[in-house]
Every structure is written in structure tokens, then in C-alpha cells.
Structure 1
Amino acid sequence: MRIRTIRATPTVSGFYTDDQAAIKAGAERDGFDYRGEPRTAGFTRVRQAGEALSVELDLGSPAGPDRSLVAHGDCCAVQYSGAGGRDPPFFAGDHRSTVEGPVADNLRGRDAAAFRENAALLEAMRPGGDRLHTAVRYGVSQALLHAAALARGTTMTDVLADEFDLDPATEPIPVFGQSGDERRRTAEKMLLKRTPVLPHGLFNSAEAVGEDGSRLREYLAWLADRADEAVADAAAAGEAYEPRFHVDVYGTLGDLFGPPYDRAEVVDYLADLRAAAAPYPLQVEGPMDEGGRAEQIHAMCELREGLADAGVAVDVVADEWCDTLEDVRAFVDAGAADLVQVKTPDLGGVDRSVAAVLACEGTDTRAYLGGTCNETDRSARVCAHVALATDAAQTLAKPGMGFDEGYMVVENEMRRTVTRRADRRKPGSERRPGRTPTAADGGVDR
């Protein structure tokens, strides 16, 4: 089965792109919008509507040319584009001609089943001498993975397992919910749905954290109280619920305290956060933003050492300046984090997200397969297969900031895939991996 044609359609993403530098500098809220001048290259305003570019690969069909199988992926970029060394904001119209031109020219006629070879070709493309935007590599690689699954008649999880010699998870990966600014109301929704990891919290400004950090501490104490009630309710129903707290502070603790980060003032504050969250495990993402990868690794290592020496059980999570596969490897090799976020749109091709998760194997660092609220339902479903194939420590509910929708998309895709793979392993199953797809399969996910 060969790639016949490639179409690209400008579409919408699940959230917005925000100028993080402007927000951290105090951009004024105006309802849902922000007032003020943008500070990051590529932004024309502080908050901009998110965009996506849907990519479809027409593969033809064994039943004839009029009943084509179509593989699909979505190009999209992170909410805080341009921050921490990331590619600039993504505008779909700027990249459509590239996808339907040079990218299509290179992929047309290739074997749809050859995922890694096709993904490597995509990664190496330099139309006009410039590397493809990470969002383009991300979306086209999703379509290539789906194409391989259709061509092989199997799931995207199984394609990755075969290509990377992996043993996929047999249960859904713990999902991490993100609340947006509705920190309390949405956290309560997460607790009702027994979300394994919560709430993200979007603590992206001094106002949210508190000038002295008190608002974050008070929030965690409130969340622990509400979690106690949810755990008790679950126990009364004969269920086990063991939530883990994970808050993203977007470097604001660095703004609050400054280096060095192993000193008593900083460690004592993290100890206070740990006490507020007790008895639930606590993960703090992006505690500081030091303006470069080497500086960030040094600061994260310093903080981890201070916490370890004081016996403070708070896990730190790498995000800022941990964008590419090379970045992930550098953070892991330095022991700079307890978890690294594999921020899927920033790595480009989904094959590189797989490699980033695998970089954590055999180390003390766990892999959090993340991403952004500014993705699409399609990219979220593809990432669910990456999470299952690599058996990541946790994965993000996405897209959007409403929680329920993103949680549904990711959790349901994993549950369906786990069931489908279990059925195929049963003796006498008629649906075995590797069967030849028929026109009846259409363009549905496999």
C-alpha cells in the first residue's frame, strides 16, 4: 500500500497560543483575553486563537480506487509557543503549501507500512534550507503512523511496539488532568472522575502563586481536604483511589526566590507545600526558568540536591528548556528531574516522543508524556497510542482546558485500544495483527 496523495486543511486547535513572557511580566487580564503588548517574536497580541493543519494521506484501497483508506494527523503547537527555546507560533496558512508541496513530493509513492523510514525522511526534510516547523513534523508524523497501522491492519500502539521492540502497557496509562484558571471547580470535577494525577493548576503568574507563595500553599491544603473526601467516597463504594498532585508553576518560584535553589529558604517553602498536600504525593513542574538549558539543568540539580539533603519528598518536573529529544536526554543524563515532560508538539515527529520516553529507561527519571491544551482531538488520540506503547509514567488529558473533553478523548482511546489488543491475543481470534485491511475499514483508527 502506497501513499498516493496528501491534503492539508487549515483547522482549529483546542485552545489558544499565549505570550508567556508578556503574561509573566504582568499583562492585564481583560475577561478571557489579555491587554498589553506582546513580548515574544511571532505574536501580534498576547492571546491568539489556536490553529491546526489537518493532514490526510490517501492510501488507495485493495477494493478499488473509489474506496480509499485515509490516514489523518493534525499539525499544532503548544500554548506557550516561542518560550523556552520553542518554535514560534504556528499559523496553519503559512505551512499548507509546504505540506502539499515539498513534503508531499517526498512522501508520495512511499510504502505506507514503513513508519520509521517515512518518519526519518520527514525529520530530515529541509525545504528551502530550513527545518520544518515542529508542528508540521508533529502532524505529518501522526498521519504516517496512522497510515502504517492501516497498511498493517493493526493498532498504532502495535506499530510502535513492533518498530521500537516495546512491550506495551496492558492497562491505560495514568492520566494527568489540567484545570486552567478554574483551579478549584475543575479540580473537583477531576476528583469526581477519580483522575489519577491532578490538577496542573496553571500557576503562571505572581498573582496566581501569591507574592510570597501563600496562594499556592493554601490551594494545595484545600485540594488535600477535597481529595480526602473523594478517597473516602471511593472507599465507601469499594474502590481504591490514590491521587497524585502535580502543579505547574511556570518558573514563578524562581522569580519569587532566585538562586541558589538549595538554600534553606527555598527548601523550606517546598517543605511547606509538601505538608499542605499531605498525604498525597506532590510533583512541582517548572519551578524556575533560568533562560537556557545549561542554566536550567544546573538550577534543577541544585534544587533536587537541596530537597534530598533535607528529606523533602517533592518531585520536580522538567518543562522549560526541555523541548527537544536532545534536551530530554541532557536533563535525564544530568539527573536534573524526577520527571521530564515529553512535550510532544515540541519534539516534532511522534517517533521522537517515543525515543524521549525510552531515554528514561534504566534511570531514576520517569517519563511524563505531555503536550498542550492547544492540540486537537486527533493529536491527543495518536499520543494515547504513544503512551501505551512506551508505558509512560503518566500522560496528559488534552486538548482544551475544560478537562472533561480532553480526559474523555485520551482515556477512551486507551481503553478501546487495550480491549482491542487483548481480544486479538485471545486464542482463535479472527482479528490478528498484520491482516490485510479492506475497504470496509475506511479511515477509522486502528
Structure 2
Amino acid sequence: MKIVDVLATPGFTGFYFDDQKAIKMGAEHDGMFYIGKPVTEGFKEIRVAGESISVLLILEDGQVAHGDCAAVQYSGAGGRDPLFLAKDFIPVIEGEIKEKLVGRELTSFKELAEEFDHLKIDGKRLHTAIRYGVTQALLDAVAKARKITMAEVVKDEYNTGVEIKRIPIFTQSGDDRYLNADKMIIKKADVLPHGLFNNVEEKTGKEGEKLRDYVIWLRDRILDKRSDESYNPTFHIDVYGTIGDFTNNDVEYMTKYLKTLEEAAKPFKLRIEGPMDMGNKEDQIRVLAELTKSLDDNGIHVELVADEWCNTYEDCVDFAKAKAGHMIQIKTPDLGGINNTIEAILMCNREGVLSYCGGTCNETSRSAEVIVNCSMAAGATQQLAKPGMGVDEGFMLVNNEMERVVRLAQRNKK
């Protein structure tokens, strides 16, 4: 089966692009808007509508495979590629990339993905968002050519040895951490609620008391509202380094505080994402590894999740090998080609570290569906519900794709 044409269409994502630097400099909210001038190159406003590009591969039998190019909410920040605007990149896809895709035989996803993930035009690698979308489309195309699911392609080509089954879904609340938690409880989300605890004074508390109170509220809310006692979700809360902020990154202090959170969460398991932010990768790995060991040595069963300074595939490897965290977040668009996401999950499995197939609220329904196939086939510990911050939509998209893939893979075994 060959690719006979390539089309690119503009679209929206499930959230927004935000100028992180301007926000950190003090830009204030006005409803959904931010007040002030942008400071990051490419932004005309501090918050702009998230944009995507659908890459459509026309196959010789008339089938159409597609993937979506998308970038994270804080594009252009922290060394990331620049703001991803459709008008700037559609000509690239329908130009040089199309020339290299048309006529290609769909024999191996892995080989094609590696080629286009490392492709250079004018001496530069493609924008991470393009690599993300093109490799999604290639996986879909190979699956269509073989008339199997994308998950089965991944399982076969990477020899994962994993049973294709539903994996736990992690839902994120944004700032609406009470009402959205109720939605999660009603839907019986496996992992919840993210929480967005990104400010010490307003959210976490100067001694962590506000975060602890929220954990107690969430525990009591589930015990009171769950429809049956078999519903025992895992708590996963992202604190954006704020525990380190009020403890001055003292490992002993953080250990004692996390013990209080463990007690507050019981009988539920607790994960804490990004407990500290040391300002650079080397120190982040060192302190996170020290805290991970301290929790283990003291019999504290809170699981730490690596987030800050863990962005690329190489970063995931470095954190995992150093045992800096019990779980690694794999930020799928930042890794470029989805082949890197697959490899990162498999690497975590080999290293004995939990794998969180994450991403961003600023993706699309299509990128979510394709990534679900990858995370299931590679055996990720959990999958982020995405895109958006509304809970219901992202949970629906990810859950329903999982159920479809499981059923189809079962049928294809017969």
C-alpha cells in the first residue's frame, strides 16, 4: 500500500496557547483573558486560541489516514520550539514533507517514524508539533494498510509483549478542583484530580495546610459519594514545586510533610507530581532521587512523579535511571514523533519505573486517540485524559477509544 497524496488542514485544539513568561511576570486574569502585553516571540496576545494541523495521508485504495500536529499550552517557553500557528507550517507539510511522503510504501511504521522524526529541512529538524502529527498519520496509515488497530501495529513492531487492555485514566481538574472532582467521582475516573496547586499562598498553603485540607476533602467526598465500595481511585496531585517552596527544598522536611498527606489520603493511594523545582535538570534529578529514596526508606508509600525538567526522551531516560521519582511523566508533544513516546514507555518498564503517558490540555481529539493506542500497546501505567480542562470531554475520548481498541484487538485474534 502506497501514499498517493498528502493534505493539511488547519484546526483548533482543546485549550489555548499561553505566554508563560508574561504570566510569570504578573499578568492578571480578566475572565478567560490575560491583561497585559505578551513577551514571548510569536504571541500577539498573552492567551491565544490553540491551533492544530491535521495531516491527511491519501492511500492508493482511497482510505484516508490522519494525525494532528499540536503543541503544548506553554509553547515557546523553556527551550521549546516556537509558537505553533497553522498558517506558518501548512506550507511545510504540503511542500517538502509531501514530496518525501508521496509514493512511499507503508511497510513499517517504526522505520518511517524514525525517518520523519529525524528529518531535517534546510539543516533544521522539523517543529516538534509536525513530527508529532506526521508520525500519528503514519501509524494510522500502516494500521489501515494492514487492516488492524494502531495498537496492534505498535505491539507487533516494537515486540512489546503487552496484552492490549484498558489502562487507568488520569483526569485533570484545572482550577475548578471541587466541581470537577465531583465529575470524576461520578464517572469513576481511575486517577484524579491533578488539582493545579501552583501557588503557595493561594493554593498549597504556607505550611502545606491548604493542600492537606483539600486531600482530606477529596477523601471524604469520595467515601460519601461513591456508588459502591469497589471504587478506590488513586490520588494524583500536581503541586508545581510548591512543597519545595515552603520547605526550602529540605528533604527531611518534605518527607515528614508527605507522610501527613499519606495519612490524609487513606484509604486511597497518593501520588505527588513535581514536589520541588530546583531550577535546573541536574539538581532536580539529585533532590528528587534523594526524596524518593527517603520516602522508600521511611516506609512512606506516597509515589513521586517526575515533571519539571523532564521534557524530552533523553530527560525521561536520565530521570528513570537515577530513580528520580517513582513515576515519569512522558509529555507526548514535547517528545516529537510518537515513536519516542512508545520508546519512553518501554524504557520506563525496563527500568522498573511507572510510566505516565501525559501530554497537554492543548491537544486534539485525534492526537488523544492515537496516543491511547500507543500507551495501551506499550503498557503505560496510566494515560492522561485529554484534551481540555472540562473532565467529561477528555475522559470520554480516551475511555471510548480504549474500549474500541480492546474489542477490535480481541476480534482480530480470532
Give me the TM-score of the superposition, normalised by structure 1.
0.88
Residue 65 of structure 2 aligns to a residue whose secondary structure is strand
| Equivalent in 223, 236, 239 of residue 246 of structure 1 | 236
What count of residue pairs does the alignment treat as equivalent? 413
Q: CA RMSD in A?
A: 1.7
Q: Look up the match of 2:286.
A: 298
Q: 1:84/1:338 Cα in 2 relative to 1: closer, same or farther (>3 Å)?
A: farther
**Paired position in structure 2 for 1:378:** 366
Structure 2 residues without counterparts, runs of 5 or longer: none
Which amino acid in the other structure matches residue 291 of structure 1?
G
Partner of 1:313: 301
Distance 1:43 1:314, change over 3 A: farther
Shift of 1:37: 4.4
Contact 1:262–1:307 (CA under 8 A) maintained in structure 2? no
SS in structure 1 opposite 2:84? Answer: coil
Query: How far off its partner does 1:39 sit?
Result: 5.2
Quick one: which of 102, 105, 127 aligns to 2:121? 127
1:45-444 matched pairs, under 5 angstroms? 45-61=45-61, 68-206=62-200, 207-231=202-226, 233-235=227-229, 240-259=230-249, 261-264=250-253, 266-426=254-414
Structure 1 pair 254/80, CA: closer, same or farther in 2 (3 Å)?
Answer: farther
- By how many angstroms is 1:40 displaced? 4.5
Contact kept, 8 Å, 1:145 with 1:156, in 2: the verdict is yes
Letter of the structure 2 residue corresponding to residue 227 of structure 1: I
Q: Rate the CA distance shift 1:43–1:253 in 2: closer, same or farther, 3 A.
A: farther
- Contact preservation (8 Å) 2:151, 2:164: no
Q: Indicate the SS of the match to 2:10.
A: strand
Corresponding residue of 1:430: none
8 Å CA contact retained: 1:23, 1:205: no
For residue 252 of structure 1, report the CA deviation from its aligned partner.
2.5
Matched AA of 1:97 = P
Q: Judge which range, 292-301 or 144-153, deviates more.
A: 292-301
SS at match of 1:313: coil
- Classify the secondary structure of the residue corresponding to 2:165: coil
CA 1:317–1:303 in 2, change beyond 3 Å: closer, same or farther? Answer: same
CA distances 1:310-351 after superposition (whole Å, capped 9, x unpaired)? 332211111122111111111111110100011111111111
Worse-matched range after superposition: 382-391 or 24-33: 24-33
> Gaps spanning 5+ residues in structure 1: where?
62-67, 427-446
Q: Structure 2 length as normaliser, TM-score?
A: 0.95
Whether contact under 8 Å (1:24, 1:204) holds in the other structure is no
Q: Which amino acid aligns with 1:249?
A: V
Task: Verify the 8 A CA contact 2:135 2:338 in the aligned structure 1.
Answer: yes
Contact 2:148 2:412 in 1 (8 A): no
